[in-house]
Amino acid sequence: QKEVEQNSGPLSVPEGAIASLNCTYSDRGSQSFFWYRQYSGKSPELIMSIYSNGDKEDGRFTAQLNKASQYVSLLIRDSQPSDSATYLCAPRGGGGADGLTFGKGTHLIIQP
């Protein structure tokens, strides 16, 4: 059974600070990892993908991956109230499986 663990929160961060979201996964065969953002009442939307160990930066977002520790994180710099949402971690399974396994998500609140 593939498991993806995220702290459900809520995680409250002051506006302008760095929000740090963490995720651990059980499937050692996972090769690619995705972060989705889901606003309340809306569908998830892809914001970051990462395939190799290390950091990947895209604007205010940085994804970090450590396959040995089975750990992936998302940093949001200069947090804005519009970043308030649930962030879903989704590894793509090994063995050719294409269906993503989503975590429960972390509910992030940016306080103005």
Partner 1 sequence: DTGVSQNPRHKITKRGQNVTFRCDPISEHNRLYWYRQTLGQGPEFLTYFQNEAQLEKSRLLSDRFSAERPKGSFSTLEIQRTEQGDSAMYLCASSPRGGPGELFFGEGSRLTVL
Distance CA 112, CA 107 (A): 16
Asked if 25 touches partner 1 (CB under 8 A), the answer is: no
10-18, 56-64, 74-82, 100-108 -> range binding partner 1 (CB under 8 A) = 100-108
- 51/53 Cα distance (integer angstroms): 7
CB contact at 8 A, 83 and 76: yes
Q: Minimum distance between the CB of residue 41 and partner 1, rounded to whole angstroms?
A: 10
Whole-number Å distance between alpha carbons of 94 and 88: 19
Give the binding range for partner 1 (CB under 8 A) out of 9-17, 31-39, 55-63, 72-80. Answer: 31-39
Q: Which two tokens stand for residue 90?
A: 């989704």
Instruction: Report the site for partner 1 in 32-91 (rule: CB under 8 A).
Output: 32, 34, 36, 42-46, 49, 88, 90
What's the min distance (Å) between Cβ of 20 and partner 1? 19
